[in-house]
Amino acid sequence: MPQITVDYSEQLADAFDRHAFARELHDRTVEIAAAKPPACKTQFRRTEDTTVGPDTEGHAIVHVTIGLLAGRTEETKARLAEAALETLRAHVKPVEGLALHASAEVRDLDPSYRKFDA
C-alpha cells in the first residue's frame, strides 16, 4: 500500500516521463497520506485505443488510480488526487494535435486486500 495504477494513451509514450512522475507522486503520497516510502508501488499500463465522445483521434488520456488502506479522510483523498494531477502536469509534455484528458481518483482498498513480499 499504496497501490497506484496509471493508464495512459500510447501516443504519450515519449511525452510522459513516467519514472519521474512516479518518484514525485510517491513523495507526495508520503507527505499527504502518511504512506511509508518503500510501500509506494506504481504500475503503468499503456493503452492502444482512445475514444473521446465520437472521436477516435486527437485525444490522449491519463488516469491515475491510487488505492489506500482505509482510514484517510475525504479531504486527504481529495488533496492527493489534486497532487496527482499537479504532478501529471509537470511530467507530461504537450503533444501537438492531441488534447490531453487527465484524471485521478483515490479510493480505499477493499478490506480483503492482502499482500506478501518475497
Q: What is the CATH number of the domain that holds 16?
A: 3.30.429.10
Domain span at 74: 3-108
| Domain tally, the chain | 1
Q: Has residue 114 been placed in a domain?
A: no
Which residues lie closer than 8 Å to 1 by C-beta, 6 or more apart?
Answer: 35, 39, 67, 68, 69, 109, 113, 115
Is 113 within a domain?
no
Kindly state whether residue 115 falls inside one of the protein's structural domains. no
Q: How confident is the model at residue 109 (pLDDT cuts 50, 70, 90)?
A: very high
29 is a domain residue: yes
Q: How far apart are CA 7 and CA 64, in angstroms?
A: 7
pLDDT in tens, 31-75: 999 999 999 999 999 999 888 988 778 999 999 999 999 999 999
